[in-house]
Amino acid sequence: MPLQAQPSTRVVLSGARSVTHLVYAASWLRHVVAGLEAAGGPEGAVEVVVLDVGSGFGRATVGEAEVREHLPQHPRLRVTTSPRDEHWRASKGLDRVLLSIGVPGTRAWARLFVGGRGRRPLVVVVDEGIGSFGNRRSRREAYRRQGGSSVRAAVRAAVVSAGARALTDVHWSLYERTSTTWRVREEVAAEFRRALSGSSPGAEHAVYLTQPWPDIGVMSESVYLAHLRSVRDECAAIGVPLVLRPHPSEDVARYAGFELLASPGPAELAREVVEATVVIGANSTALLNLAAVHGTRAVRVTAPELRGLEAGLTTRQRTLLDTFLPPASGVPGVGAALQQVMRSPRRGGAAPEEGRYG
């Protein structure tokens, strides 16, 4: 870790568009504060300037309340959500850090570079999710799904990939690749466990983590609802009720007729999901984190409409998912997959040095 205890450190946090992003960032900030404490003495304070407050995906936004709740509270740490011109300028005895989600925020980097009179800030990149383990091709396809043209998506992916290579100084990731498998970085995992809220589920049931597939054109709403009804029937056939946990960005009205767990925030921070009998989902960051961080029993399910997304996974993404999650099952095999997983004991989180399935 190259950051040393200085009289003052200013951290500009860029790109936090979900509560999960805040948790990733919080783990690094807590690590820095712990380093200042270990160094001893009264010196060393950290000012965090949070950009993009109020942004997010769909109906899920990161506001002032979420920032205050999920970033660490410590006497050496001061957080502001109101950036001012002075925050971009360097001064004597001040370390400047750009803490970015997924890839370096190039606009914020440029402002810090100009404000520092040509002196580069330290750039720390934390996870945005499974997309952090993609490449230029996977970024291009993700941008196309967001509505961009083929040419614009290709240019954007090339620029972002080049910026990530050139500007990143430190990767602070939940998952690290070893010579043989993937391992969980415990300092990041601990932040997720610390942020757990809600109550334990009172009855045995399976929780399905829905995705906003209709909103991004992966499958129509009618096809997706039919898929969910089929999964519900498979669960009912083995005597396990199915409850849906909508993605935070979704309008839950589309799931009328299903039993819902509609508490706000990410699934991996909700105790009623973490401690459920079993969790079902596609290749999502939430399903991965639930299994790897919390040891939640998980079943991967696929559908014909998801084959394009699955084919687009990079080798890193595919091996990461396969390390902590069982093989994907089609809907007709969900019942058997559930029975197999439910016979296994719950774990308290995957061992930091190794994955469960890798």
Considering only 61-65, 100-104, 208-212, which range has the smallest mean pLDDT?
61-65
What is the model's pLDDT at position 188? 97
Mean pLDDT of 246-258: 93
pLDDT at 348 over 80: no
pLDDT band at 229 (very low <50, low <70, confident <90, very high): very high
CA distances from 195 to 75, 184, 236, 259 (A): 20, 17, 32, 25
Mean pLDDT, residues 113-129 taken together: 93
pLDDT at 52: 87
Cα–Cα separations (whole angstroms), residue 69 to 22, 62, 139: 9, 11, 31
Beta strands, E only, the chain: 8-14, 46-50, 56-57, 60-61, 77-80, 94-101, 122-126, 170-172, 175-177, 182-184, 206-209, 242-245, 278-281, 298-300
Please choose, from the candidates 29, 32, 67, the residue with its C-alpha nearest in 3D space to the C-alpha of residue 51.
Answer: 67
Q: Which range, of 60-69, 90-99, 159-168, 283-292, averages the lowest pLDDT?
A: 159-168
pLDDT in tens, 131-166: 888 765 655 565 565 566 665 656 565 666 666 777
Look at residue 344 in the predicted model and tell me its pLDDT. Answer: 82
Write down the pLDDT at residue 347.
67
Mean pLDDT calculated for residue range 238-258: 94
**Over residues 328-350, mean pLDDT:** 85
- pLDDT more than 90, % of the chain: 68
| Res. 343 pLDDT band, cuts 50 70 90 | confident
Helix or strand or coil: residue 61? strand
Q: Measured between alpha carbons, how far is 98 from 180 in angstroms, rounded to an integer?
A: 32
pLDDT recorded at residue 2 = 45
Check residues 4 and 300 and name the one with the higher pLDDT. Answer: 300
pLDDT of amino acid 121: 95
Structure tokens that stand for 18 in this block: 């979900």
CATH number of 206-342, picked from 3.10.20.30, 3.30.43.10, 3.30.200.20, 3.40.50.2000 = 3.40.50.2000
CB 296 within 8 A of CB 344: no
Q: What is the pLDDT of residue 1?
A: 43
| pLDDT for the residue numbered 263 | 77
Task: Indicate if the pLDDT at residue 355 is higher than 90.
Answer: no
pLDDT at position 87 over 90:
yes
User: Residue written as tokens 């939640």?
Assistant: 296
Give 6's contacts (C-beta < 8 A, 6+ positions apart): 43, 44, 93, 94, 95
Confidence of residue 8 (pLDDT cuts 50, 70, 90): confident
Do 165 and 174 form a contact (C-beta atoms < 8 A)? Answer: no
Section 110-123 average pLDDT: 93
Confidence of residue 85 (pLDDT cuts 50, 70, 90): very high
**What integer pLDDT is reported at residue 220 of this predicted model?**
96
Structural domain spans, the chain: 8-194, 206-342
Q: What is the pLDDT of residues 172-203, one digit of tens each?
A: 999 999 988 999 999 999 999 999 988 888 88
List beta partners, residue 46.
9, 77
Question: Over the chain, what is the mean pLDDT?
Answer: 88
Highest mean pLDDT: which range of 35-44, 55-64, 345-354 = 55-64
